[in-house]
Structure 1
Amino acid sequence: MARALYIHWPFCLAKCPYCDFNSHVRDSVDADAWQAALLADLRHEANLAGGETLTSIFFGGGTPSLMPPRLVATLLHEAEKLWGFAPDIEITLEANPSSVEAANFAALAAAGVNRVSLGMQSLDDQALRFLARLHNAEEGLKAVKTGQNVFKRVSFDLIYALPDQTEAAWREQLLRALDFGTSHLSLYQLTIEPGTRFATDVRTGGFTPLDDDCAADLFELTQEMTRAAGLPSYEISNHAAPGEESRHNLTYWRYQDYVGIGPGAHGRRGGLATLRHRKPENWLAAVNRNGHGLKEERAPGAAEQASEALLMGLRLAEGVDLTALSARFGLPEAALIDPRKLQQFKELRLISRTGSRIAVTEAGMPLLDAILPQLVADSLVAA
């Protein structure tokens, strides 16, 4: 099975009000101490999960573009020594499109990064201020152009379905985004996550989220425009030209093994689920104490693994192969999917089935959060 590596850099210059990721703001970061700890965490995993060459590496965060390029180069050199790299390895780094970080793009490319994922979030200055981003639209546009001149592959993120956002405004912005000609776009509807500043703002009347019907209309428009531009959705929020899908994210969604290091990083290796300490200081202390940052390592049961594989795989346009999952987890198809719900959703054209493969249809994708618990969870609880 293909092997992927995830490296988490937890630091940001500021905490975005919509973000519930494991990100932290610190006055200073000791790069040497972090290099030593990440190398130790890396070597620990390689001792347990060696033997397969890496096909993808993903630096996530946080804001990995704040990492010193020499640190990125050191980690990549060590990973190649420990595992070896596939000839066409995908090495992605998430970056904010500020002028300061864009100035490091050439050095990051020289370190080995060949794909960048830019957190643009919007091409509109007013929206960027609402989202509390530290860059403006002009900086973002320059960063995309810089990235295209430096890296082999460029993707960027946009957030839509903002309060009061109109179909005309989103159409204009998405047209501008598509004009860049990147082979991959991540287009997310604004979600109010518990525990975020936006959740507090909504609760206290600071703003009202866009209503569901309007958001659904914008989702449909997004599918139409990206498909017409040759970037169809391969996952509910991710769009790519054929062959340009994020290899690393496909590893997650196809429920394949991957190694995760750094604060809060999850991993899957050999049937074990791994979890690192979340708080940066706790993770550093654990590495210094134990030689790794692991907080938890456990063996999920077959039902839990099958549930996760279905919940992840049904996000993909390709869907899941029930026969393959049944064989993998030793469970009958009826224990994977509720047959009555499957038939009901097929009749409503929210689910399609071809042979043993089922997939959520384009009409069903906007209702994904409602469909999956009915289709998957109840059937596996009893397994």
Structure 2
Amino acid sequence: MARALYIHWPFCAKKCPYCDFNSHVRESVDVARWQAALIADMRAEAAAAGGEKLGSIFFGGGTPSLMPPALVAALLEEAETLWGFAPEIEITLEANPSSVEAANFARLADAGINRVSLGVQSLDDTILRWLGRLHGADEAMRALETAQAHFARLSFDLIYALPEQTSAAWKSELARALAFGTSHLSLYQLTIEPGTRFASDFRRGLLTPLGDDEAADLFAMTQDMTRAAGLPAYETSNHARSGEESRHNLTYWRYQDYAGIGPGAHGRRGGFATVRHRKPENFLRAVEERGHGIVEQRRLPAPEQASEALLMGLRLAEGVDLAVLENRFGIERKALIDEGKLRHLEQIGMVWRNGARVGVTGAGAPLLDAVLGELVAGELVQA
């Protein structure tokens, strides 16, 4: 089985008010120092993980499209030297659709990037300003066209279920997005994350989220429209044509091993969870002193792994195979899933079952958190 590699670039031009990712604004970045640190961290991880060739690489952030293309090329060259690349490897880079970053698309493609995920977020200038984005809608459209010319595969993100957003407004915006003809879309409902400016605005009464019923209606509309356009949901918020699913994200949701390097990056290997130092300066110091950026490495008990595998896998349209999980973690099925609640949820149309495989239905998807809370066996969660 091919391995996945995640590389975190923590820097952004501006912190968006909804974002709780590990992103930081700095006046300047010492690229040479960061290249040395990321390569050292990668070498340490390869020495610990070893094994399979890489099937996917994902540059996340932050804003990886702010990385100099020469740095991207150097990291990819090192990754290939350390692990080797599987045939037709997927190499994704997250990018903002600004004209400055789009100007680098040709060089990023030359460096080895073959898939780009653009953080468009909205096709409306007023909403983009409210979301704190630095690009405008027309600029995003031009970036999409430029990306389509340079990369074999392209995805872009939109945020919906915004305060006071109507079904007509979202229907119109989603129809425009689908008309671009990309093979993948990530469509996220706005959530108020702790520690963000939007969370502060919410506490102060300056922001009122869209109601749950209205959000559920928009979710249902989204599923219907994307399915009709040939991009059904393969994960709760991700839609793709058949065969165009993000291989890297599938590795994560299927609870397979992946290496994570860079500030704040998480990883899984051989039953261990790894976490890198979150603050960029602390990460650099750790790598320069110890040769790696790991702040925590913890063995995961089998019940915890099984619980995480269930909670992640049930987000996928393909569901999970309980027999596979039983064998993988050495845990009996009755300790994985509450059979009585599974039967009840199946009877009311919230979940489906096909032999040992179980998944959440379209009717259950809007209530995913509640369904998962019922389905995963209490003993497993407590363990």
TM range (shorter): over 0.9
The whole-number CA distance in structure 2 between the counterparts of 1:20 and 1:290 is 28
Displaced runs of 4+ in structure 1, greater than 6 A? none
Q: Which residue of 2 aligns with 1:53?
A: 53
The whole-number CA distance in structure 1 between the counterparts of 2:223 and 2:304 is 32
Aligned residue for 2:89, secondary structure, equals strand
Q: Which residue of 2 aligns with 1:259?
A: 259
Matches within 5 A, 1:60-139: 60-139=60-139
Q: Does 1:339 align with 2:339?
A: yes
Q: Which residue of 1 aligns with 2:213?
A: 213
The whole-number CA distance in structure 2 between the counterparts of 1:325 and 1:149 is 42
Q: Does 1:186 align with 2:186?
A: yes
2:334–2:377 contact (8 Å) kept in structure 1: no
Instruction: Give the aligned CA root-mean-square deviation in angstroms.
Output: 0.8
Pairs aligned (count):
383
1:303–1:329 contact (8 Å) kept in structure 2: yes
1:227–1:233 contact (8 Å) kept in structure 2: yes
Q: Does 1:202 align with 2:209?
A: no
2:112 partner letter = G
The change in CA–CA distance for 1:210 and 1:5 in structure 2 (over 3 A counts) is same
1:115–1:151 contact (8 Å) kept in structure 2: yes
1:2–1:257 contact (8 Å) kept in structure 2: no
2:214 partner letter = C
Aligned residue for 1:209, secondary structure, equals coil
Matches within 5 A, 1:148-187: 148-187=148-187
The whole-number CA distance in structure 2 between the counterparts of 1:248 and 1:136 is 29
2:255–2:309 contact (8 Å) kept in structure 1: yes
2:333 partner letter = E
Q: Which residue of 1 aligns with 2:42?
A: 42
For 1:28-69, what per-residue CA distance to the aligned partner results, in whole angstroms no more than 9, with x for missing partners? 110000000000000001111123110000000000000000
Q: Which moved more, 1:337-346 or 1:216-225?
A: 337-346
Q: CA deviation at 1:296?
A: 0.9
The whole-number CA distance in structure 2 between the counterparts of 1:380 and 1:223 is 31
The whole-number CA distance in structure 1 between the counterparts of 2:286 and 2:348 is 51
Aligned residue for 2:376, secondary structure, equals helix
Q: Which residue of 1 aligns with 2:366?
A: 366
Q: Which moved more, 1:369-378 or 1:251-260?
A: 369-378
The whole-number CA distance in structure 2 between the counterparts of 1:146 and 1:218 is 30
For 1:239-291, what per-residue CA distance to the aligned partner results, in whole angstroms no more than 9, with x for missing partners? 00000000000000000010000001011111111110111111111001100
TM-score, scaled relative to structure 2: 0.99
Aligned residue for 1:298, secondary structure, equals strand
The whole-number CA distance in structure 1 between the counterparts of 2:266 and 2:376 is 22
Aligned residue for 1:120, secondary structure, equals strand
**Structure 2: 5+ residue runs without aligned partners?**
none
Q: Which moved more, 1:50-59 or 1:368-377?
A: 368-377
The whole-number CA distance in structure 1 between the counterparts of 2:20 and 2:377 is 24
Q: Which residue of 2 aligns with 1:317?
A: 317
1:338–1:379 contact (8 Å) kept in structure 2: no
The whole-number CA distance in structure 2 between the counterparts of 1:379 and 1:336 is 8
Q: CA deviation at 1:6?
A: 0.2
Q: CA deviation at 1:2?
A: 2.2
1:380 partner letter = L
Q: How high is the sequence identity, in percent, across the aligned residues?
A: 72
Aligned residue for 2:8, secondary structure, equals strand
For 1:273-313, what per-residue CA distance to the aligned partner results, in whole angstroms no more than 9, with x for missing partners? 11101111111110011000001111110000000000100
The whole-number CA distance in structure 2 between the counterparts of 1:382 and 1:89 is 38
The change in CA–CA distance for 1:103 and 1:374 in structure 2 (over 3 A counts) is same
1:232–1:240 contact (8 Å) kept in structure 2: yes
The whole-number CA distance in structure 2 between the counterparts of 1:376 and 1:38 is 38
Q: Which residue of 2 aligns with 1:299?
A: 299
Aligned residue for 1:58, secondary structure, equals strand
Q: Does 1:225 align with 2:225?
A: yes
2:335–2:377 contact (8 Å) kept in structure 1: no
Q: CA deviation at 1:203?
A: 1.2
Aligned residue for 1:5, secondary structure, equals strand
For 1:151-210, what per-residue CA distance to the aligned partner results, in whole angstroms no more than 9, with x for missing partners? 000100000001111111111101110111000000000011111110111111112111
2:17–2:197 contact (8 Å) kept in structure 1: yes
2:276 partner letter = R
The whole-number CA distance in structure 2 between the counterparts of 1:355 and 1:339 is 13
Q: Does 1:147 align with 2:144?
A: no
**Structure 1: 5+ residue runs without aligned partners?**
none
TM-score, scaled relative to structure 1: 0.99
1:64–1:95 contact (8 Å) kept in structure 2: yes
Q: CA deviation at 1:377?
A: 5.8
2:2–2:86 contact (8 Å) kept in structure 1: no
Q: Which moved more, 1:335-344 or 1:209-218?
A: 335-344
